Amino acid sequence: MSRARSETIGSLGRAPARASKGPPISPTPPQPPREPNRSRLREWLHGAFFDNVGLKFLSMVLAITVFLLVNTDRDREISARVGVSYTLPDDKVLVSDRLDEVRITVKGPWQRLRKFDERELDRVNLDLRRAPTGDIPITPDMIHLPSGLTITSVSPRTVRVAFERRVDKLVEVNAQLVGRPQHGYIVADAKAVPATLKVHGAESTLAALSAVHTHEVSVEGRTESFTTETDVVPPDGVETAGSSHVIVQVTVEEALVTRKLPGVAVSIPAGWAATPASVEVTLTGTLLAVEKARAALQPVVKVSGNDTKARDADVVVEGLPPGIGVKISPERVRIAPTK
């Protein structure tokens, strides 16, 4: 009974709680989508590139170092060329084609291959002093490479050789001239001293050889004789037994010519006529003198004051320089007064 009374008194003596009322809430309008924050993007990029720069640089160096170590340790291959030399027997001549070089493939670490220079390789020496006619092998052990490098292939792998007996022969020496002397001059003679040389070579080659030539000697524009020194140039497969040095003596002279001048009019005093009225004049002498005489010569017939009748008269050529030979055809003409 007391609990019910208490609850009744409590409910009667207390006023009911009032609900608090706030201001009216208006609906929130929709907000437009925000643009990306550019300043934050810039900050992020700046941090990605410039934060801990030292650590990032060290990481990059380590990565490059590892890449180089991995890749440079790998074996690679490159091609190279090696020259070839020959050691020949004294009593034989090599008549087959010579091999000037061989191609090789070199294998090794890239670091060593980068320092490799084919020009530093010794030539492959083919010792043929006791070799028979046939194919001679070229093997990798004949080529010496720097340490750490090996040869995987050689091309060609063989070279064919053929020999003939070596013989000696005495041949003439011909001076080889080029060019032309000055106008009016000619080369009258050219000879080598000594005039013969001993050469040696394959028997079949020397069988058809009678002379060897010197290097070219120029006579361009020359007007006088001269002497010069030069060497003999034997054909392929032929060598001089001694010195190849010779002296060439060249004789240059004025050119002697003969020129015929047909139809040259005969000069005769007024009141007279010549039959035929022209003659053929032949001049002999040096070229320059003959060319000068052609412009100055004149066939003439002498007529005296006592001549009144027709007669045969000699034709004389005037205006010729000394040293010029002349021939007239006909030598005499018929002259007659025209009045």
Q: Are residues 154 and 86 in the same domain?
A: yes
Domain co-membership, 210 together with 233: yes
Could you tell me the two tokens for 70?
């991995």
Domain boundary among 161, 191, 209: 161
Counting the structural domains of the chain, the total is 3
Last residue of a domain, one of 94, 126, 161: 161
Angle at 58 between CA 55 and CA 62, to 5 degrees: 140
pLDDT in tens, 2-21: 444 444 434 434 444 444 45
Q: What pLDDT sits at residue 305?
A: 81
Residue 64 lies in a domain: no
- Both 126 and 184 in one domain: the answer is no
Write the pLDDT tens digit of every residue in 37-71: 667 777 766 666 666 777 777 777 777 766 665 55
Residues 199-214, mean pLDDT to the nearest whole number: 94
Distance CA 81, CA 186 (A): 52
User: Of 254, 281, 298, which residue is a domain's last?
Assistant: 254
pLDDT above 90 for 162: yes
| Residue showing tokens 């207390």 | 14
pLDDT of amino acid 19: 45
pLDDT at residue 190 tops 50 = yes
Together in a domain, 120 and 137: yes
**Residue 178's domain is classified under what CATH number?**
2.170.120.40
Which residues, 6 or more positions from 275, have their beta carbon under 8 angstroms from its beta carbon? 333, 334, 335, 336
**pLDDT for 231 beyond 90:** yes
Supply the range of the domain harboring residue 235.
Answer: 165-254
DSSP for 19-34 reads: PP--PPPPPPPPPPPP
Answer yes or no: do 82 and 143 share one domain.
yes
How are beta strands 101-109 and 150-155 bridged, if at all? antiparallel
In a domain, 38, yes or no: no
Please tell me which residue, 26 or 109, carries the higher pLDDT value. Answer: 109
Spatial contact of 243 and 197, defined as CB atoms under 8 Å apart = no
| Nearest residue to 228 via CA among 252, 253, 193, 254 | 193
Do 164 and 217 meet the contact criterion of CB atoms below 8 Å apart?
A: no
Contact call for residues 254 and 213 (beta carbons, < 8 A)? no
Q: What are the beta bridge partners of residue 158?
A: 137
Torsion from C-alpha of 253, 254, 260, 264, nearest 10 degrees: -170
Between CA 103 and CA 110, with CA 109 as vertex, the angle to 5 degrees is 80
Q: pTM for the complete prediction? A: 0.59
Q: Is residue 35, in this structure, part of any structural domain at all?
A: no
What does the pLDDT look like over 116-156, one tens digit per residue? Answer: 999 999 999 999 999 988 999 999 999 999 999 999 999 99
Band (pLDDT 50/70/90 cuts) for residue 31 is: low
